[in-house]
Structure 1
Amino acid sequence: MPNKKIFILLPDGVGLRNFAFSKFYQLGIDEDFAITYWNATPFDLKDLGFEEIKIQNSASHPFTELYKNARKHIELSKSVARNKDTVYDSYRFPFAYDGIKKALKSAFTQFLIITHSTERGLSHIREQIKNKERKTLYYRQSLKTLQKEQPALVFCTNQRPMTAIAPVLAAQDLGIPTATFIFSWDNIPKATMVVETDYYFVWSDYMKQELLSYYPYINQDQIFITGTPQFESHFDSSQLRSRVAFFEQNKLDLDKKYICYSGDDVTTSPNDPKYLEDVAIAIRKLNKRGHLLGIVFRRCPVDFSNRFDKVLDDYQDVITAVAPLWEKVGTEWNTILPTQADADLQINTIAHTEMVINLGSSMVFDYVAHDKSCAFINYDVASKNLKNWSVKKIYDYVHFRSMPNKTAVLWINNPESIAGIIESAVVGDRPFIKSAQQWFELINEHPPAEASRRIWTSIKKIIS
């Protein structure tokens, strides 16, 4: 009987939504796979009825982070040279010098960058990462787990975390096939690749071509185009609540239509409270003209700041906050974990609002899955503390260049235009939905509801 035991490696919490809170697990069970979550998160998957093995010690080698950061800078420099485009410099994190320890780390990383800027040097950096990780207790424990369990495949849910390197290496050293899922639509140009696996699962042919371009050591036959499970739930009507139930639960007015303002984190959109206020002012204007409208404010799940408090207090007549149901188990952004309850909440928020407004979010695809429109904030606000920040920087990122044409979203170029844009999206004929759908089809393999099934089909090919 063939070995159908699959290890789903969760190096951090961001893979929970795609691979635990979706139909992915049940589809695998239906295909007679024996699924074990190799779980480095604090989330207890046994509560969901899943088989799991907890990773108790996921400490990387102290030098791995330095080599990883050097690798990122070298890859970004190569992208600048190859594409003659300085946008890649905006993906760099600044070096820290506050304190001796940080200064020494920064100095060593910069030394690595200067001395390893060639292809041969980059290859040496990649090998050093592997060599360092093979010296860790984490790697040795991963070997023991794999020798005992003997899975047919280790499937990593995210290509970015350092905590994925040791278990992937252990599997490869034992001859067990490995694969990783490229987590987000913007990840590849940012040089976020940390793990190197035997196979790569991507959202689309567009992402496949990106992977081949940025990582020439990857071959075509190593890549599977599957789509992402994160959009599947929009096509599952069983998760939808009635409008009445959703409105009652979230204290919304049944006589009103609502738009969603989807917040960003403070780094991406430091002026988000002002943008929310501008939208609230526009809604008040529309209501004076006879509309009955309100705003559902869904903050970024990893933003626990109080920066929106004043706006929410001043505009209680038009804004209702519907907070994401994530669990905070640590101080870092990747220790704030999604939940099944929040997955359901997001689906119903989209289903029962008319459109979404935000600054450059992938929510455009969530809303077009419901044939609804997205408006992107596209203007700056005066701020003494943010002289170097601009929306132009956000929309210059490489992943936005995939937009087939500029009509895929509505562009809010100034506060005065907000009311008219909302009005056209809520009561107009919405011709821009077609362009947004074309963008969605380019970014994510269609039909989007079949992503998990395509992933299992690809896994079946690998292990056979």
Structure 2
Amino acid sequence: MSKKVFVFFPDGVGLRNFAFTDFKSIGEQMGFDITYWNNTVFSLKDNLGFKEVKIEDHTAHKLLPIYTRARKRAELNISRDKFNDAVYPTYKFPFSYKGLKNTFKTLYTKCLIGLHSSEKGVVKLRNKINTLERSTSKYKYCKAQLELHKPDLIFCTTQRSTQSISALLAAKDLGIPTVAFVYSWDNVPKAMQVVETDYYFVWSDLMKAEMLKYYPFVKEDQVIVTGTPQFEPHFDDSLKQSREDFFKDYNLDVNKKYICYSGDDETTSPLDQYYLEDLADAVRNLNINGENLAIIYRKCPVDFTDRYQAIIEANKDIIEVIDPIWKPVGDQWNQVLPAKEDFKLLYNVCEHSEFVTNVCSSTVFDFVAHKKPCIYYNYEQPQLKKGIRDIGQNYKYVHFRSMPSQEAAVFCTDKNDLESIVKNIIDGKTSNVTEGLKWFEVVAGKEPTLASQNIWSSIHNLLIK
């Protein structure tokens, strides 16, 4: 009899990896009975024809946000002290004192942090969170669903959603094995391990080492390196369009060479629009001197601001906007969901651009998969003032320490150097591709084309234990 696996979407961030890739078909070819346990507003049954069980009760305990925030900050305090490293406090978001309610929440959270900033204290916080979530109607609702459908294993597509806690506790209490996929390359050092499961699937040996470093309660045999399906489409040649067809579809000029500017969210890069302006100025100057360059602006899918608009309008002769094919199905950042068609679009933007440029984005890996360079901006903008976050902080984060060398990206540390850097990349004199591919392997693992297969093979091995 085939094994029944629930692929659990607590939110929409896992759709790209586990609904729109070949993940499901690979699992079915290996004999699994796959049902999507769906906590999102996106209907997998209606849109993709997948078998799904919808979670309609989204109740979380009213104290959950306070306790999860306290847990995160306590863990960051432990890392700060344990590793004598000032980077960890920079992962904290500021407290709010606006109004009596927010002030009370802040004071209560600070009290919890003060009492629990130790490894034993964090365990107490996690146990308290579990107690709170077991008391909710969602816990009972999910438990009833699991008792009805009797899956052999739950595969949770992200470890960082509080919406997954009660559902996974229900599985645990019924003796159903649980696995969490660690969603992103920067998540482990940032104390974003919200759930506790029987096993954790990670991208690489690097992430496995980090899991064991930051979470003493996790044992080595619980962490399994699988890779991530995130980059698999970049190796699918069936997505490739000819330059002529791609340029025709998006009204691009076949006589021009295009540079991709990959936008960032407002939190990561609050002055991001001015780096686009700097690139436009550099391109304009190079064109005056004989080049024929233009820019493809691909916005961050979860950036809802209009902050780029004036700069795009002022440079519409050289900036072409090609938006990612993502669709909002709610008003939260994690309810902006990718369409499957975006795989093909991103593949061809990478393939037909000369290089990408941005502030510290993981698109460096998308582009090096196509043997294309990446410029990282790392200089302050004159608009920077008190209360605006300096983007230089990003490059001090722990996940950037995984770079095998500083040549894994082309860093622009002075606005005045940007024009010459662009020229050198266009002329083939400067590139990060060789070192960038080494970095890609460190972060994403040695088998980027086999991640889905590795995940299902690992699930198979767990089920026959």
Tell me, yes or no, whether TM beats 0.5. Answer: yes
One-letter identity of the residue aligned with 2:233: S
- d(CA) in 1 for partners of 2:192, 2:59: 19
**CA offset at residue 431 of structure 1?**
5.0
**CA distance change for structure 1 residues 149 and 387 in 2, over 3 Å: closer, same or farther?**
closer
Matches within 5 A, 1:423-434: 423-430=423-430, 432-434=432-434
SS of structure 1 residue aligned to 2:375: strand
Shift of 1:196: 0.4
Q: Return the alpha-carbon distance in structure 2 between the equivalents of residues 384 and 32 of structure 1.
A: 56
Give CA-to-partner distance per residue, 1:94-140, whole Å, 9 cap, x none.
Answer: 11121222222112111111122232222111101111111111000
2:421/2:430 contact within 8 Å kept: no
C-alpha distance in 2, partners of 1:152/1:98? 47
How far the C-alpha of 1:387 sits from its partner, in A, is 5.4
- Confirm whether residue 10 of structure 1 aligns to residue 12 of structure 2: no
Letter in 2 for 1:349: V
* CA deviations over 1:204-232 (Å, ceiling 9, x no partner): 00000000000010001001101110000
Within 1, Cα distance between the matches of 2:388 and 2:42? 38
2:304 match: secondary structure: coil
**Mean Cα deviation higher: 426-435 or 259-268:** 426-435
Structure 2 residue 452 is the aligned partner of structure 1 residue 459: no
Q: After TM superposition, which residue ranges in structure 1, 4 or more long, deviate above 3 angstroms?
A: 384-388
Deviations 1:398-439 (A, max 9, x none): 110111110111111122212221222222155531111111
1:227 and 1:444 mapped to 2: Cα distance?
6
Aligned partner of 1:30: which letter?
Q
1:272 aligned to 2:272?
A: yes
Indicate how the Cα distance of structure 1 residues 260 and 386 shifts in structure 2: closer, same or farther if over 3 A, else same. farther
Partner AA of 2:300 in structure 1: C
Distance in 2 of aligned mates of 1:110 and 1:372 = 46
Matches of 2:430 and 2:451, distance apart in 1: 28
**Residue matched to 1:29:** 28
- Classify the secondary structure of the residue corresponding to 1:36: strand
Equivalences for residues 41-440 of structure 1 within 5 A: 41-46=40-45, 47-383=47-383, 385-386=385-386, 389-430=389-430, 432-440=432-440
Instruction: State how many pairs are aligned.
Output: 463
CA distance in 2, matches of 1:376, 1:386: 23
TM-score, normalised via structure 2 length? 0.97
DSSP 3-state at the match of 1:295:
strand
Residue 344 of structure 1, CA deviation: 2.1
1:52, 1:85 → 2: CA distance? Answer: 45
Give CA deviations for 1:24-45 in whole Å, capped at 9, x if unaligned: 1110011111111111111111
Q: Give the 3-state SS of the residue equivalent to 1:448 in structure 2.
A: coil
Distance in structure 2 (CA, Å) of the matches to 1:387 and 1:104 = 23
Structure 2: state its 5+ residue gaps.
Answer: none
**Displacement of 1:388 after TM fit?**
5.3
**Secondary structure class of the residue paired with 2:53:** strand
Secondary structure of the 2:462 match is helix
Q: How much is the aligned-residue C-alpha RMSD, in angstroms? A: 1.2
Matched residues in 2 for 1:118 and 1:308: separation? 44
Letter in 2 for 1:160: R
The CA deviation at 1:243 is 1.6
Identity rate, percent: 46
Distance 1:431 1:418, change over 3 A: closer
- How far apart in 2 are the matches of 1:50 and 1:244? 35
Letter of the 2:117 counterpart: S
